[in-house]
Amino acid sequence: MGIHNGKREKPIIAYASNLPQGMIKEIECCYDNGWYLAVTYEDSREAKAYQPGRSVGVDLGEIHTMGAFCENGQALLITGRKVRSLHRLRNKKLAEIQRCPSKCQKGSRQWKKYERAKRYVLSKSERQLWDALHKTTKQFVDWCLAQSGSDVYIGKVEGVQRNTRKKKRANRKQAQKISNWSFGKVKQYLAYKLAQHGIA
């Protein structure tokens, strides 16, 4: 631990009620409206070997999180209503909170109260979004397995407004929707979940 006011601080001792099964690689003590342990570990499960099967094409969207089509003719559409509502609620709450500190002196008791409320909203919404996106990607992976999919092709969505005329660019409301679009996390979650089942 560090030194505070010339004295070395006492170490933080954390007791974990349960730890994941597997080889623990790293344990990190983190703070997010409370202390918690972030554990990195190997679950000892080997990824399944790749086996040629059917191809699946995927389009990521802001209204519908995922639209997929398998070459056997089956299709899947996963709505992003839950994720969108979480983003809207978070933005609304943050806007309400951020208007309040302007009336307070920075560092005052009331200002600190608003800052705690802001951190709470961000922390809670982040956990809710994490849960919603994991459930969405799991639903797609389960569907892929049911269709005997082996190769997944995801359309590129990076830079959706790049090289777009100024007049045709999204207005403020649309720009906020695009900034809330979590396609990067969706692709990240899909990558490792598909790899576990030997899907390229």
Per-residue pLDDT, 171? 61
Whole-prediction pTM: 0.71
pLDDT in tens, 11-27: 777 777 777 777 888 88
- In the predicted structure, residue 143 carries a pLDDT above the cut 90: yes
pLDDT in tens, 113-126: 888 888 888 888 88
pLDDT in tens, 73-111: 999 999 988 888 888 899 898 888 887 766 777 878 888
Per-residue pLDDT, 74? 92
Distance (Å, rounded) from C-alpha 191 to C-alpha 181? 18
| Mean of all residue pLDDT scores within the chain | 81
Per-residue pLDDT, 175? 58
Per-residue pLDDT, 166? 56
Q: 83 with 133: CB under 8 angstroms? A: yes
Instruction: Report which of residues 62 and 77 the model is more confident about.
Output: 77
- In the predicted structure, residue 169 carries a pLDDT above the cut 80: no
Instruction: Report which of residues 100 and 159 the model is more confident about.
Output: 100
